[in-house]
Each structure stands twice: as structure tokens, then as C-alpha cells.
Structure 1
Amino acid sequence: MTNPTRAASVAEMETSFQRELATDRWAAAETAYALAVRTRDAGDWDQSREWVAQCLRLLEGFPGDTEEQVATTRVSVGGVLLPNYLHEGVVRDRFGQLA
């Protein structure tokens, strides 16, 4: 994911997720969201559902009382645009029955 003009593969994004999980759980939540989008758009509903669940689990560990607390730190991950704010409501709204 070093080239910002090229969309990262799912495998590259999963590798980043594993690294972030150990070092930066907020970044991991953002990457899980991006993986949920990428796999949903590819029609892999089961995998997307798993990434949605992973994202929601990670978000449970963060406060969400203010916009500053739920503001994403990146514009995109692996070529997937992130919402400005990432919290349970946004995830459930964007993924509907997959959430």
C-alpha cells in the first residue's frame, strides 16, 4: 500500500490490518472498515460480514462521545474512501444487514 495511486489488494490490506492490530487499534478499525467495503463490493458477503464484525468489535473499545473521538485519521485505506467519522452507527448504516 505504498503507492497512493494504486488500490491495495485484499491480501495487502489484511497484512496491514494484522500489523495495525498490534500497534494501532484505531488504524486497524479503519482498515477493517475498508476491507468490509472492498469484500462487499467484490460480492464476498460472508467475508464482508466478518470484516464488519471485526470493525464493530474494535470500535467498542473507543469512546464515541464527541466528533473528535470518532474522526477518522486517514482519507482512504487501500484505495477505499473512509467516512469522516467512524462509529457503530455509521458502520451499521453503511452495511445494513451485513452489520
Structure 2
Amino acid sequence: MTNQTRAASVQELESTFQQELATDRWAAAESAYALASRYREQGDWEKSREWVKQCLQLLEGFPADTMEQVATTRTSVGGVALPNYLHEGVVRERFGELA
């Protein structure tokens, strides 16, 4: 698993995502958000859009009725700061037309 505060490469983040997908879908959603952010920073809009969609698909499987249900479990993933709360509205707001 990558260090949560250092800037991980996208390859490291993708590897972490694959591991989390099998064991912790919420962590995988957080990692997908980080990947979408990282690719957007690099100007790779297509890859960013793919990871936004992956994040949104994962979030569909979780309840989002209370703040506790959408609170992120980490402050950052691979050097990418996470929002305090992760749900469809936040993702769509942060990524705009990429969402």
C-alpha cells in the first residue's frame, strides 16, 4: 500500500486501487477519486473521466443519508488530498464536466 501522504505515481495508485477493490470498496472509491485528481492534474482528461466514473460507480453501492456514511476514512491518498465527505454531489462538483 502506498504512503498516504507522499505523492504516489499513478501506477502505484492503480495497484493500490486493485488491491482495495477486492478488500475494501470504500477505500477503493477514495483511491479512484485520487486517481481522477492525479490524471486531471496531468492534463489527461480521458483517464481522469474514466476514474471519475469508477468512483461514482463505487459510491452508488453505499448509503449517503448521513454525514457519517459519506465521511472519508483518510485525509489523503498517495499525496492527493481527499474531501472530508465523499458522495456523488462532491465528485460532480469537483470534476464538473468530467463527471
Task: Please indicate the TM-score interval, normalised by the length of the shorter structure.
Answer: over 0.9
Larger RCO (CA within 8 A; separation ≥ 6):
2
Q: Which residue of 1 aligns with 2:11?
A: 11
Give the unaligned 5+ runs of structure 1: none
- Counterparts of 1:91 and 1:38 in 2: how far apart (Å)? 14
Give the unaligned 5+ runs of structure 2: none
> CA distance change for structure 1 residues 62 and 45 in 2, over 3 Å: closer, same or farther?
same
Amino-acid identity (%): 76
Q: Which residue of 2 aligns with 1:40?
A: 40
How many matched pairs? 98
- Counterparts of 1:35 and 1:52 in 2: how far apart (Å)? 8
Checking the alignment, whether the CA contact within 8 Å between 2:4 and 2:76 is kept in structure 1 is no
- For residues 25-53 of structure 1, what are the alpha-carbon distances to aligned partners after superposition, in whole Å with 9 as ceiling and x for unaligned? 00000000000000001000000000000
Checking the alignment, whether the CA contact within 8 Å between 2:3 and 2:77 is kept in structure 1 is no
1:67 aligns with 2:67: yes
Q: Which residue of 2 aligns with 1:58?
A: 58
SS in 2 for 1:17: helix
- Counterparts of 1:16 and 1:79 in 2: how far apart (Å)? 13
What's the TM-score, normalizing by structure 1? 0.96
- Counterparts of 2:98 and 2:13 in 1: how far apart (Å)? 20
Checking the alignment, whether the CA contact within 8 Å between 2:74 and 2:82 is kept in structure 1 is yes
Detail structure 1 runs of 4+ shifted over 6 Å in the superposition: none
Shift of 1:2: 3.3
SS in 2 for 1:38: helix
- Counterparts of 2:49 and 2:80 in 1: how far apart (Å)? 17
What's the TM-score, normalizing by structure 2? 0.96
Q: Which residue of 2 aligns with 1:2?
A: 3
Q: Which residue of 2 aligns with 1:79?
A: 79
